[in-house]
Amino acid sequence: MNRDPAWVLTIGDELLRGEIIDSNKSFFSERLLRLDIETTRHVTVGDDPEAMELLLRLSTESARIVLVSGGLGPTRDDLTTEVVARAFGRTLRRDETTLQRMRAYFASVGREMSENNAKQADFPEGAEILPNPLGTAPGFMLELEACLLFCTPGVPSELYRMMDEQIIPRIAARQLEGRAVRATLLRTFGLGESTLDRELEDIARDDHEISLGFRTQFPDNLVRVVVRGDDPNTAERRLRQTVQVIRDRLGLTVVGEGETPLEEIVGRLLLERKHTIGVAESCTGGLIAHLLTELPGSSAYLLEGVICYSNESKIRELGVAAEALEAHGSVSEAVVRQMADGIRRRAGTDFGLATTGIAGPGGATSDKPVGTLWVGLATERGVEARRYQLLRDRSRNKRLSAQIALEWLRRSMLGLELPDETFPRMKGRTG
Amino acid sequence: MNRDPAWVLTIGDELLRGEIIDSNKSFFSERLLRLDIETTRHVTVGDDPEAMELLLRLSTESARIVLVSGGLGPTRDDLTTEVVARAFGRTLRRDETTLQRMRAYFASVGREMSENNAKQADFPEGAEILPNPLGTAPGFMLELEACLLFCTPGVPSELYRMMDEQIIPRIAARQLEGRAVRATLLRTFGLGESTLDRELEDIARDDHEISLGFRTQFPDNLVRVVVRGDDPNTAERRLRQTVQVIRDRLGLTVVGEGETPLEEIVGRLLLERKHTIGVAESCTGGLIAHLLTELPGSSAYLLEGVICYSNESKIRELGVAAEALEAHGSVSEAVVRQMADGIRRRAGTDFGLATTGIAGPGGATSDKPVGTLWVGLATERGVEARRYQLLRDRSRNKRLSAQIALEWLRRSMLGLELPDETFPRMKGRTG
């Protein structure tokens, strides 16, 4: 039989009631792709032993890899382990090491372990236990005749870690058959997914050992690069070559490699270089400061922020000239320059970053439509300012404006050219 | 055969590659619960006609309602309509009204309609067309022997609207059998889900015509109330009674009815009452201002914000006394009071709202652990300040702190008691 590469199952009534959005399935599938393994089915069932058993049988008969999340908790509703044991004719065995570890955990937080928890130390006979450093429920792997079955808890942080540390290495070890796979993610900002696809399409077309994929994390797009080779060294070398080809083509659009978001990339640069910054926000309404303070230790660089929605506050707090506001309006080059310069002087920082714009839906004029954005950056070398034309949606405009401002900071610190007025070239830009 | 109430299917390779997180399934299921219909299966398959056909057959043989999203676009990969036609032995018919509407749409945006788009006007014979006011692809309903099958586009905004305007009324019309169902959502802030469950559990237990459910939208918890009755008036009256019972029990924890988030509830109150506000943020780092400026028209109330991470900026910008900082530290009652008062005076607003705290992971001392928060609110009646103890996670602490500050504003405007020091009583509070 021609088996599917992988199925992903999630278990829990809360998922079928729509109480939480199930991000575990997309996480599992994205990680499998980095091993060059495609998922062909996602299925969710409730805490219903009959439905679970049927699904476990069907999936393990259909796919070479089955990943299951959920149903390993301590409650009556958590049935995964016992249903797996029944479905595959295994008895349940209590693992003493796991039990002791659980007792020690409860003792360390000063609580008595309830007898319900003890069942989390039960595993189907023959299962390999997968440690869970973040919670009480370990996972397990069962090697069936033509299928590897992995069960993990449903808590995202726990299963993310178990996937990377326990599951991926086990799949990789069995997968190879003399082949190796290496993968990475490139974070891009400034081009839409269809443009990226067009720019890069020949790379995977001309070389069947390379696969490219895309994932959107508004306003960024992530490019996933997967490269196969005869051995790990070859695969790794070819991955580096491919990343270089992509970086050469996309230029400054690539803002980083990996999952680190732009605000963290920028925050780390500020920390490393011991730079300080003040921000003066109008249309972004505090979002730039909020993003810059998500990183622990951000008080070392973000000394001060001002949200000056009113003209009065622009004049009073930032020293913007009333004449400039009158002659050009608050969304103008003159004003954004004075805002950037004003916050830098007032806060006594290396950088002064400013935004003013029309986030929408109100406030537009004939020459300043919704989506108009001015960014200004003051440094010891002077003030730069540029105008951009963004989207129609208020919330997305705020997010996109903040990202453009952060990208100015990144490029400025790295001595790179600032984004020109046609930036960002994204789908939906004209509506 | 005993049929399942509902299955939800989503279609698209991008879902199986984990490129986007599929929130359509939880949306569909949550909406069905408001009709008292439980979903028993979520399944996702790729753009693969064989897998789709098998799944369409299986689901319509298993469930009374099948909701499908995706695969109605104009590309070669969009196969839902033709696979549905094949699976149920229908021919495809082109709908001239739909075609004309599509041509008119393309003309209105100044573009030529491509021939690919024309297939979006094809429907299986006997299908009822479901208009899509937000996009080019209409959906359709097929009434099978014992199953209603609905197909919608995968774009969330489009399917949300079609679910509420087209699908729900059709299901409700067929569902009744002399019965009516009414539902609503209560937004709560300040109690964890398990506490809510305990407070309310007897309501649904003692009356089988009532169902309660929960949905987390950190830091809020939504309580879904579903009430059945012999006719619409009875059901509506009993729903109102039940809502009142819940409001009486939960008191100020209920911040609103429906999906409107707290920042919008607060923003609308500020607009209605023509109040103005200035915010002085330390540990929330701009997040309060960001939330308050998500609502269009927020420039009418938010006149100014200051993010004063450094002691110097607290002194310079808000007139906080150096002595207070020295004697009590920046995370203290004295400082938060001076911050709130300082921003109110400087911005000349009705309200001055301030936060200072230890978001973590660094900065803690023995008497000010991670999660310490001070909130201050200045009004014409004076300044109030209180201390709270939150969580260990930086990002969640910022969000929770901002929410507490917004809740101060809401309660202050409505003349309600401010949250006491034991607020919020949420799961995970101690880690």
CA-based nearest distance A312→chain B, Å: 9
Per-residue model confidence (pLDDT) at position B134:
87
Restricting to B residues 100-139, those with a Cβ less than 8 Å away from any Cβ of A are: 109
Task: Quickly count: other Cβ atoms within 10 Å of residue B104's Cβ.
Answer: 10
Q: Does A330 touch chain B (CB under 8 A)?
A: no
Residue in the structure block whose two tokens are 């004029």: A365
Contacts B304 to A, Cβ<8 Å = 306-310, 313, 317
Which domains occur in chain A, in start order?
4-175 (3.40.980.10), 180-257 (3.30.70.2860), 262-413 (3.90.950.20)
Rounded to an integer, the average pLDDT of A141-166 is 95
Per-residue model confidence (pLDDT) at position A215:
83
Contacts B281 to A, Cβ<8 Å = 286, 289
Residue B60, SS3?
A: helix
For chain A, give the mean pLDDT. 93
pLDDT along chain B (431 residues), means of 10: 92 91 94 93 96 97 97 90 97 95 84 84 97 91 96 94 96 78 94 88 94 89 93 94 97 95 98 98 98 96 94 91 95 97 96 97 92 97 97 93 98 96 67 28
**Pairing of β B128-130 and β B220-229:** unpaired
Half-sphere exposure of B194 (CA within 13 A, CB side): 5
Residue in the structure block whose two tokens are 């207070």: B324
Highest mean pLDDT among A73-82, A326-335, A418-427: A326-335
Amino acid at A304: E
Helix B232-250 with B193-206: angle, nearest 10 deg: 140
Q: Does B288 touch chain A (CB under 8 A)?
A: yes
Position A73 confidence tier, pLDDT thresholds 50, 70, 90: confident
Indicate the residue of A38, A48, A214 with minimum beta-carbon distance to B19.
A214
Indicate the residue of A17, A39, A286 with minimum beta-carbon distance to B30.
A17
pTM for the complete prediction?
0.90
Residue B313, SS3?
A: helix
Contacts B41 to A, Cβ<8 Å = 16, 43-45, 51
Strand partners, A138: none
Is pLDDT of A107 > 90? no
Nearest CA in chain A to B396: A294
Q: Whose CA is closest to A288, among A415, A408, A419, A428? A: A408
Position A67 confidence tier, pLDDT thresholds 50, 70, 90: very high
Task: Quickly count: other Cβ atoms within 10 Å of residue A198's Cβ.
Answer: 11
**Pairing of β A382-389 and β B122-124:** unpaired
Task: Quickly count: other Cβ atoms within 10 Å of residue B204's Cβ.
Answer: 17
Q: Whose CA is closest to B74, among B26, B111, B48, B113? A: B113
Q: Whose CA is closest to A140, among A160, A157, A120, A156? A: A120
Strand partners, B356: B374
Q: Does A19 touch chain B (CB under 8 A)?
A: yes
Is pLDDT of A430 > 60? no
Do A12 and A47 meet the contact criterion of CB atoms below 8 Å apart? yes
Indicate the residue of A30, A294, A394 with minimum beta-carbon distance to B17.
A30
Test B26 with A27 for CB contact under 8 angstroms.
no
Rounded to an integer, the average pLDDT of A189-204 is 91
Test A42 with B44 for CB contact under 8 angstroms.
yes
Residues 6+ positions from B26 with CB-CB distance below 8 Å: A15, A18, A19, A20, A21, A22
Per-residue model confidence (pLDDT) at position A177:
66
Q: Does B61 touch chain A (CB under 8 A)?
A: no
Q: Does A309 touch chain B (CB under 8 A)?
A: yes
Per-residue model confidence (pLDDT) at position A25:
96
Q: Does A157 touch chain B (CB under 8 A)?
A: no
* Chain A interface disruption, residue of B35, B215, B216, B310, most A CBs within 10 A: B310
Rounded to an integer, the average pLDDT of A102-107 is 86
pLDDT in tens, A365-375: 999 999 999 99
Round to whole Å and give the CA distance between B25 and A19.
Answer: 11
